Amino acid sequence: MYGAEAGGAETERTAFRRAEKRYKLYKSQPPRSRKQPVVNRTDLSDAIDFLAVLESFERDGGTPEGIYRFECPGFALPIFCLEDRPGFYFIPCALTTEEQCHWIRQSLISFPQPPNRTNHTAIYGPISDLLTAVQNKKILVAAEHSNVDLVDNNMRAPRYIFSETSLDAHVEGQGSCKSVAASVLLRKLRWSTLGLQFDWSKNKIPNDLCLLAKKMAVPAMSSGEEFQPEAAIVNYFGPSDMLGGHLDDMEADWSKPIVSISLGCKAIFLLGGKSREDMPVSMFL
């Protein structure tokens, strides 16, 4: 986060916190005649829509105040920058529909696969083929209480495995043990890590993902220098989820860019300044 906060009341008064509360999805208690909660309308008039900026630029060559088109020799895609946020590059329509579908599938099928780690790993150990288990309506049960024969002394063996039903989670004389539906695990999947973050060089980022990151990092690199991605994190969000404001300050070399790609449903992204007191720039992803 943006350093330590003095207290709850002060946190509420910072510009960044006010923006977070403004764009957060709120639901009202519905009347008794309605079963579903009512989603409150959010004022999005200040959020930048770079797709509209691109369409306007292609139509008349102009851009809104504070936004300019960045020219990068040899880079075919349009790039826009903000005058008061140097080092930020926005590339609308960076991926085709087919490419977006490919990476969404990879995010659900390949990226959560062991040895990659997810937010479930610390609790359940390595979980393989989660999406397939969801499609087959399977249940995750403790391996030592299942009917599946595992290698006894293999520390790499999963602590939990998928079963056809939750009946395997019950052992005579021992009562019941924890089990969870694969669909619940998928819904609660929040992140998976690739590259150096999880195995310190034994495993590498997929080659096609490296190539994509290198391509998108070109505008932020010095002429003739090539970006070398080493680690990645994939975040998963549901329709009402929110990632709180934070500072990406873990990189040893701040001169190298962070490539962020947004896929799926439209969302609001807040680009902060040097402190929480700086009014963030809101934009559609």
Enumerate the known binding-site residues.
Answer: 246, 248
CA distance 181 to 160: 12
Annotated binding site for Fe cation: 246, 248
Question: How many Cβ atoms sit within 10 Å of the Cβ of residue 188?
Answer: 13
Give the single-character DSSP code of 154.
-
Burial level of 152, CB count in 10 A (0-12/13-18/19+)? exposed
Q: Among 196, 256, 203, which Cα is nearest to 227's?
A: 256
Please report which residue ranges of the chain form alpha helices under DSSP H.
Answer: 8-13, 15-23, 50-60, 97-109, 121-124, 130-135, 182-187, 196-199, 207-217
Give the single-character DSSP code of 167.
G
CA distance 13 to 5: 11
In the numeric block, which tokens belong to residue 202?
């034994």
Q: Among 174, 140, 139, which Cα is nearest to 158's?
A: 140
The alpha carbons of the chain give a radius of gyration, in whole angstroms, of 23
Residues 6+ apart with CB under 8 A from 187: 238
